[in-house]
Structure 1
Amino acid sequence: MVAQAANRLKESINIKMNKLRFIKDEGSEFYKELNEQIEQYFIQTGMKKTGNTKMFFKIFLYFGLDILFYALMITSHSPFAFYAFYLLMGLSVLLTAFNVSHDAAHGVAVKSKFWNQLLFSLSFNLQGNNAYVWGKNHNESHHLYTNIEGSDIDVLNNPLFRMTESQPLKGYHRYQFMYAPFLYLFYSINWFFFRETLMLFNLSSRTIKVEIPSIEVVKLVIYKLLYIGYMIVLPIYLLPFGWAVVLMAFLLNHFIISLLFVAVLGVAHLSDYVSHPVPDQDNKLNMSWPKLQLLTSIDYHAESKFLNWTLGGFNAHAVHHLLPNVCHVHYPDIIPVFKALAKKHKLTYMEMSYSESLTSHFRFLKMMGRNEHLIPMRYEG
């Protein structure tokens, strides 16, 4: 048994990051009371924190649309229909990731641990990305140490973008707020072709290092080849449109997915309102973990039922970070409790319109491209 445990340990993902300590402050009391009231809410309503009937419908809907649009795409009789169904399938897959994959990664899409893992692995791996690596990084790095360089894997040190104060300020960075939308087009293609592949060689724009276990390396290669097979090779083989038409559909699909993905998620943590805390020499932060989440997240139209349905709760990002054990379908009902408690404990909860959050994102890019230091704007809610 000891040998088996040792082998499992060797095969676990190794995330080389700074592990931090937090202090107790008003955020600690807020978080304690929040959990108590959320528990009471679910006891009184008799519901589970995991997905309900609405979530089951969404699971069948989005997976069904994925299959339907792929079937229509692969049997298209005209280039116009081929492009239409290819792009609709891409949109459907993205919505599946927002609404199903993400909650399944946190174990709350459904009650069963097995089905959560299956839903997450199936939907993520079939996009050509490694579910295990992303899940570990997301849960054990980004959620724990949001916006902290050297601890949050989503903090980038990309030479084309200046996102942190530790990066040297280059002359071309003053234009990054203008060329950013063009580079955002390549987000998902970079993820598919380079992001995880570079991790295999211990090369990455991430500010922490990740070593991928051998079995996941094999899976990574297999699923990427499989993705190329059914998204490029099979359409070329079965349809009479030629490789150029198929390749253009593939690229256009990734461009659209990238813009939508960055538009939904990029504004949540990259804003001139949010903080980018720096720990002291002992890896200690001068705030509690709940307060960190509120200071590093922007919500937009958090109580919107339409956005909750469409974006899987990503518009209520601070709520998700503090309550990852609650399925997003419950957010509209618990956000009033969340807001009331934040106000009671005199904590700043940053919520705004989407246009305001997007404007703030580009102000952040402009500021980081022209100033050595970032001083967050004061939020006046």
Structure 2
Amino acid sequence: MKLKGKVKFVNKDKNQFFHTLRKRVDQHFIEKNISRHANGTMVLKSVVMLAAYILPFVFILLFQPPFALSLLLWVVMGLGVAGIGMSVMHDANHGAYSSNPRINDLMGCTLNLAGGGVLNWKLQHNILHHTYTNVVPMDEDIQDRVVVRLSPHTVTRFIHKFQWIYAFFFYGILTLYWVLLKDFVQFVSFIRSGVNTQTKTENQLLLVKMIVMKVVYFLVLFGVPVIYFNIPFSYILPGFLLMHFTAGMVLTVVFQLAHTVEGTAHPVANEHGVIENDWAIHQLQTTVNFARHNKWLSWYVGGLNFQIEHHLFPRICHVHYPDIAPIVKQTAEEYGLVYMENESFTAAFRSHVATLQRFGTLPDINEAIG
């Protein structure tokens, strides 16, 4: 299936919402005389997130604490992995961390520390998800996962009626699947679909780099403790799995609270591959903010609770989202558009569970129409 270029947005009504909003946001940065990119707060956060991942591992190697304490340290590492994913590499791979592409590339490679490939992430997230949010089959994040149904336009299976219970287990193993298989699956599928436009030679080099990166990743997390510090493999493996379960749970839940909740739209292109909507308005209709007044949560999740602002302005560093959110909300309301948000994390989580329940029993809309 050729994905690239299959769907396009047509602003039939010539709505000026995004044109007006962009001018107002630009004016905000001019008046404040500040950069759209990282500031001191962002740099400090990057250091903290990287330290939360690296230092507990160093402690385990040097001091070999009791097993229970080591498991706690692996949990901290998992929180660090999630923090790097949500705050550091995410902004960098959007080009939002710095105006210097080299710095973005460097900070974007922090994804390698978690065992993930940068190019595949950019293709899945920056191109497919951000361009075609909640559009099947373009948005990879809601495609048919067999066991978990995240769209009313994918196949309904008997097991889905229980997904609101078991889905969280699969959320927890997401990063482990990513490290072991996902990059290779996407490497093949993105070439076949045309999303990956690199030459054959470039992709051969990419595959070699990806294999080397993953070998190094496993050598560091398993080889170094076992071979150089004489720590039993049976001591490391449970912690490694716990780290990934923690990271996977945090990353996936935070992401789902923005797109798979009550109120979000799941539009389908017409027979000509057209969605008759302005792209920016589409982002408002498929994205929901949550707990944006919770400063501690906003700090940790890297502004992913400001998903509306992020989807409209992905190249602005997330530390600025709390300041531009009122501008986005006011402009949306002026144009008669709904600015969707859940006031708390709990409300967003409940909405996600309710959506899992609804999608678990809702017939495939396409089949119902047929």
TM-score scaled by length of structure 1? 0.87
Q: What residue is the counterpart of 1:361 in the other structure?
A: 352
Residue of 93, 106, 109 corresponding to 2:94: 106
Report the more deviating stretch, 149-158 or 75-84: 75-84
2:84 maps to 1:93: no
Whether the aligned pair in 1 keeps the contact of 2:71 and 2:242 (CA below 8 Å) is no
1:124 partnered with 2:114 = no
- Give the structure 2 partner of residue 46 of structure 1: 33
Q: What is the rounded CA distance, in whole Å, between the counterparts of 1:169 and 1:208 in structure 2?
A: 24
Task: Give the distance between the partners of 1:98 and 1:210, measured in 2 at CA.
Answer: 24
Match of 2:205 in 1: 215
What SS does structure 1 have at the residue aligned with 2:140?
coil
Q: Distance in 2 between matches of 1:208 and 1:167?
A: 19
Q: Any idea what the Cα deviations from partners look like across 1:115-134, whole Å, max 9, x if unmatched?
A: 1111102x011211111121
- Structure 1 residues 50-199: aligned runs within 5 Å: 50-78=37-65, 79-121=67-109, 123-199=110-186
Whether the 8 Å contact between 1:26 and 1:345 is mirrored in structure 2 is no
Deviation at 1:81, TM superposition (A): 3.8
1:252 aligns with 2:239: no
CA distance in 2, matches of 1:83, 1:98: 23
Q: Which runs of 5+ in 1 are unaligned?
A: 1-13, 376-381
How many residue pairs end up in the alignment? 359
> Is the counterpart of residue 335 in structure 1 residue 322 in structure 2?
no
Find out whether 1:298 has 2:288 as its counterpart. Answer: yes
Tell me the distance in 2 between the aligned counterparts of 1:84 and 1:26: 55
- For residues 176-231 of structure 1, what are the alpha-carbon distances to aligned partners after superposition, in whole Å with 9 as ceiling and x for unaligned? 11221222221111111121222345499xx9675582221112111111111111
Aligned to 2:304: 314
State how far apart, in whole Å, the 1-side matches of 2:254 and 2:280 are: 23
Shift of 1:162: 2.4
CA distance in 2, matches of 1:345, 1:323: 18
Report the residue type matching 2:330 in the other structure.
A
Task: Name 1:274's counterpart in structure 2.
Answer: 264
What is the alpha-carbon distance in structure 2 between the residues aligned to residue 100 and residue 156 of structure 1? 26
Tell me the CA shift for residue 72 of structure 1: 1.2
- Listed one character per residue, the Cα deviations across residues 262-298 of structure 1 (whole Å, up to 9, x for unaligned) are 2211121112321111000111112110111011111
Matched residue type, 1:161: V
The alignment partner of 1:140 has SS state of: helix
In structure 1, what residue type is equivalent to 2:76? Answer: L
Q: Could you tell me how far apart the structure 2 residues matched to 1:253 and 1:154 are? A: 22
| Residue 101 of structure 1, CA deviation | 0.6
The one-letter code matched in structure 1 to 2:241 is L
Do the aligned residues in 2 keep the contact of 1:27 with 1:345 (CA within 8 Å)?
no
Q: Aligned letter for 1:112? A: N
Q: TM-score, normalised by structure 2?
A: 0.90
CA distance in 1, matches of 2:297, 2:193: 32
Greater Cα offset, 101-110 or 133-142: 133-142
Instruction: Give the CA deviation at 1:66.
Output: 3.2
Paired residue for 1:262? 252
**Deviations along 1:79-100, whole A, 9 cap, x unmatched?**
2343233322222222122111
Kindly tell me: are residues 169 and 62 of structure 1, through their superposed partners in 2, closer, same or farther at Cα, counting changes over 3 Å? closer
Which amino acid in the other structure matches residue 34 of structure 2? M
Indicate how the Cα distance of structure 1 residues 81 and 15 shifts in structure 2: closer, same or farther if over 3 A, else same: farther
Identity of aligned residues (%): 27
| Residues 185 and 255, structure 1, Cα contact 8 Å, conserved in 2 | yes
Shift of 1:18: 4.6
Distance 1:117 1:203, change over 3 A: closer
1:178–1:203 distance in 2 versus 1, CA, 3 Å:
farther
Whether contact under 8 Å (1:304, 1:332) holds in the other structure is: no
Residue 64 of structure 2 aligns to a residue whose secondary structure is coil
Task: Quote how far apart the aligned CAs of 1:332 are.
Answer: 1.2
Distance 2:243 2:216 in 1: 17
* Structure 1 residues 199 and 253: CA distance shift in structure 2, 3 A: same
Map Cα deviations across residues 306-352 of structure 1 (whole Å, 9 max, x no partner).
Answer: 22211110001111000112111111111111111111111011111
Q: Check whether the contact 2:78–2:242 (CA below 8 A) recurs between aligned residues.
A: no
Taking only aligned residues, the RMSD between alpha carbons, in angstroms, comes to: 2.4
Cα distance in 2, alignment partners of residues 361 and 209 from structure 1: 32
Deviations 1:115-164 (A, max 9, x none): 1111102x011211111121133212111111111222222211112233
2: CA distance, partners of 1:140 / 1:170: 29
Q: Give the SS at the match of 1:16.
A: coil
- The CA distance in 1 between the partners of 2:264 and 2:14, in whole Å, is 16
Displacement after TM superposition at 1:67 (Å): 3.2
